[in-house]
């Protein structure tokens, strides 16, 4: 794998997103959404990203796909999304949440989504937007849509441990500096 952007040059966006009526967002664990801008060199294939993730060993790549265009979150695990192709505008936090964030992400970017953060694709800007979806070893992801039939997921989310190493950079990295 080509070298990553050095930590000293890496631009990171951090977002604490308040709970909404449909998702707990970052209100349970108080860990911010992190976006590592251009962490991977462009171009980086999905296979090269997966190889890097396996080498670091914090998360396990499980799929290659775009992001669903329906707002959803995971209550059983944190999620690491590495953009392997294209550019897109996302909605983080839920459409009706005044505290939502709508970032533009592109190939080379990494998103670290704490459990409970609602996310969806708003617009695939170039066609073919694709990510590598990864989760901590031993964790299985669920799909929560914030519907009234779903029970409160806060206790399940609260019980999840945070990363002990950064999923991209290993022993150092932004995920370990979890202040907002």
The Cα 5–Cα 11 span in angstroms is 9
In a domain, 159, yes or no: no
Assigned domain for 102 exists: yes
The tally of domains found in the chain comes to: 1
**What's residue 155's pLDDT?**
87
- pLDDT, one tens digit per residue, over 22-77 is 899 999 999 999 999 999 998 899 999 999 999 999 999 999 999 999 999 999 99
Residue 42 belongs to domain spanning: 18-139
> Quick one: pLDDT band at residue 1, thresholds 50, 70, 90?
very low
Identify the band that residue 153 occupies on the pLDDT scale cut at 50, 70 and 90. confident
Is residue 8's pLDDT more than 90? yes
pTM, whole model, 2 decimals?
A: 0.95
Domain presence at residue 155: no
pLDDT number for residue 81? 98
pLDDT in tens, 85-114: 999 999 999 999 999 999 999 999 999 999
Q: What is the pLDDT of residue 180?
A: 43
| 61 occurs within a structural domain | yes
Residue 178 pLDDT class (50, 70, 90 cuts): low
Could you tell me if residue 134 is inside a domain? Answer: yes
Q: Report yes or no on 165 lying in a domain.
A: no
Is residue 164 assigned to a domain?
no
What CATH number is given to the structural domain containing 97? 2.60.120.10
Residue 46 has which token pair? Answer: 């999905």
Q: Is residue 170 part of a domain?
A: no
Q: What is the pLDDT of residue 147?
A: 78
């Amino acid at each position: 794998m080509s070298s990553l952007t050095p930590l000293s040059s890496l631009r990171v966006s951090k977002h604490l997103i308040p709970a909404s009526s449909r998702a707990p967002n970052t209100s349970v664990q108080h860990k911010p959404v992190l976006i590592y801008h251009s962490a991977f060199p462009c171009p980086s294939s999905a296979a090269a990203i997966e190889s890097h993730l396996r080498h670091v060993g914090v998360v396990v790549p499980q799929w290659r796909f775009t992001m669903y265009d329906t707002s959803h979150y995971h209550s059983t695990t944190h999620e690491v999304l590495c953009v392997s192709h294209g550019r897109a505008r996302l909605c983080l936090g839920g459409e009706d949440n005044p505290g939502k964030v709508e970032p533009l992400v592109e190939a080379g970017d990494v998103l670290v989504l704490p459990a409970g953060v609602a996310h969806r694709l708003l617009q695939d800007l170039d066609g073919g937007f694709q990510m590598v979806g990864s989760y901590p070893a031993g964790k299985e992801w669920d799909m929560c849509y914030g519907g009234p039939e779903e029970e409160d997921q806060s206790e399940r989310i609260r019980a999840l441990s945070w990363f002990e190493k950064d999923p991209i950079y290993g022993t150092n990295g932004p995920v370990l500096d979890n202040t907002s």
